[in-house]
Amino acid sequence: MAIAGTQDYWTSRFNGVDPTVGDSLNTAFSQSGATAVASTSSDSFGVGYWKVSDKTYTQTPTTTAYTIMGCFYYETAPSNGTVLMKLDNGSAKVEVQVNGTKFNLVGASTASTVELSPADSTQSAVILRLTLTGTTATLYAREIVTDSYGEDHFIQVTGSSSVGKTIQWGNTSGIVHWASLYATDKGAFAPQELSPSQWTTNTLYRLGLSLVEQLKSSPRMYLKTHVDDSSIVYGYDISGDMLSRIRPPSIHVMVQNINAPDSISLGGAVVDLSYSLSVFVTTVGADYKEAYILGAEIAGEVFDELYINTGLNGTTDSLDTFSANLDTKRDDDETICIHQLLFTYRRRTNLRRAS
């Protein structure tokens, strides 16, 4: 994973307003074509959509890896082949084209999404995220990376020949109500690497998931040789049934609490957020003593890895406090040991840059 760093953010963010009007923290788009207006209260879609029937919006970036995400409904379906999004990084070009109720990702070859029903306003709006880095383009539908069967829910192609750097969106046929449009020239980010919400990015991705990746890549002996990468996970589900599916020894990382003890600017735009993070180390042994000692060895390496290699920047990612709860056998038949490490991180966040 390439989780967005603290200097990576959405360089353009438009939520149903004129995308040609930007500011110092929100890069505007240039427009071409005939018709685009803000939706009014008389529209069936309501206020808060940018209604496009014949317009495209472009930027000319200077970097080489991009992400664009659009959320929209069809009022009138565009004709097949209409380009809704396009990225070109100087090495490769890729387009998202209309294909009935599906979408085609078109580069040197073509791949198609599943059915997405973009014309049904009674359902959730379609969300498409397109990324391009090098010559590889990826299209994610509804921000889903893997489905309930653990299968990939995205499509990829190699881009076709470049015609010049650009980030583009819009439509030249049909009527499309764009609820939101996010774009960045800071990198190619998957849904679990950069969220539309800065809070989610900081909390779940930059802290929780980045620490999972930190532990997976650790060279320390027990973490490298005794704990399989598939057993180091974020703790979305720590129920007994779910824990039993992961081969021990296992490590579950989870953010459990966030608070803002201090705002350091008028209006609260810059805030110090405090994150309480738990790491559960689960081991099984022939007897409880064996499980306990193995758990202590792994927990010690987790502590060493996180305490030394995270929380290095006091203004963005400071490691403030640490404590641990070491498990104790309470049942004659118990051979499973779960040690819990608790870390408190603090990150200074500029909410004006809603990345």
**pLDDT tens, position by position, 247-285:** 899 999 999 998 876 655 555 567 778 889 999 999 998
128 and 224, same domain (yes or no): no
161 and 235, same domain (yes or no): no
Q: Is residue 355's pLDDT more than 50?
A: no
Among 102-116, 151-165, 324-338, the minimum mean pLDDT is found in 324-338
Neighbours of 256 (CB within 10 A): 11
Average pLDDT, the chain: 88
Residue 38 pLDDT:
58
Q: How many domains does the chain have?
A: 2
Whether 274 is covered by a domain: the verdict is yes
Residue 264 pLDDT:
59
210 and 82, same domain (yes or no): no
165 and 213, same domain (yes or no): no
Please state whether 143 falls in left (phi above 0), alpha (psi between -120 and 50) or beta: left
Instruction: State both tokens at 316.
Output: 């963005």
* 292 SS3 class: helix
Q: How many CA atoms lie within 13 A of 239 on its CB side?
A: 3
Instruction: State both tokens at 314.
Output: 């006091």
Q: In angstroms, what CA-CA distances link 342 with 51, 191, 248, 252?
A: 48, 27, 20, 12
State phi, psi for 173 to the nearest 5 degrees. -150, 165
Residue 265 pLDDT:
57
Q: Which residue has the higher pLDDT, 205 or 350?
A: 205
Q: What is the pTM of this model?
A: 0.86
Distance spanning both ends of the chain, measured CA to CA: 18
CATH number of the domain within which 256 lies: 3.30.2000
27 and 165, same domain (yes or no): yes
Q: Is residue 325's pLDDT more than 90?
A: yes
Query: pLDDT above 70 covers what percent of the chain?
Result: 87
146 and 225, same domain (yes or no): no
Whether 1 is covered by a domain: the verdict is no
Q: Which domain holds residue 254?
A: 198-350
- Residue 308 near residue 271 (C-beta atoms within 8 A): no
Residue 110 pLDDT:
97
178 and 203, same domain (yes or no): no
Residue 37 pLDDT:
67
Mean pLDDT to the nearest integer, 159-181: 95
Angle made by CA atoms 110, 145, 28, in degrees to the nearest 5: 75
* 281 SS3 class: strand
Q: Is residue 354's pLDDT more than 60?
A: no
Residue 247 pLDDT:
87
Q: Is residue 172's pLDDT more than 90?
A: yes
Q: Is residue 313's pLDDT more than 70?
A: no
Whether 7 is covered by a domain: the verdict is no
Mean pLDDT to the nearest integer, 306-328: 80
Q: Per-residue confidence at 41, pLDDT binned at 50, 70, 90?
A: very low
Residue 11 pLDDT:
95
161 and 210, same domain (yes or no): no
Among 60-69, 77-86, 234-243, the minimum mean pLDDT is found in 234-243
Whether 4 is covered by a domain: the verdict is no
| Cα–Cα distance measured from residue 200 to residue 235, given in angstroms and rounded to the nearest whole number | 15
Neighbours of 182 (CB within 10 A): 21
